[in-house]
Amino acid sequence: NGDTKNDVFRGTVYGSLVVYRLEIFNRFGEMVFSTTDPKKGWDGVFKGVALPAGSFVWQCSYQFAGQLKRFLKGNVVLVR
């Protein structure tokens, strides 16, 4: 809603990353967001259009320096 509180979905990173990729998918499996920059996040927009409220799937692969590569996934609910 533009109040700077929870307006962007992104990972919280503490440490030195070697690999990072965050992807978000809609209920049809279409990728609506992707980034390799941990400072960038998803604001609920796809192709310049604000998406309607709903549930989305996210997945993130990352690797910190000196550690093994990891993979996480989950759901995020977009509320308008």
According to the model, what pLDDT value does residue 3 have?
A: 78
Q: Count the helices and strands in the chain (H runs, E runs).
A: 0, 6
Distance between CA atoms of residues 2 and 43, nearest Å:
10
Distance between CA atoms of residues 63 and 6, nearest Å:
25
Kindly tell me if the per-residue pLDDT of 55 is higher than 90: yes
Cα 41 to chain center, whole Å?
6
Summarize pLDDT for 4-34 with one digit per residue, the tens. 888 999 999 899 999 999 999 999 999 999 9
According to the model, what pLDDT value does residue 65 have?
A: 95
Q: What is the pTM of this model?
A: 0.91
Helix/strand/coil for 56: strand
Nearest to 38 by CA among 57, 25, 19: 19
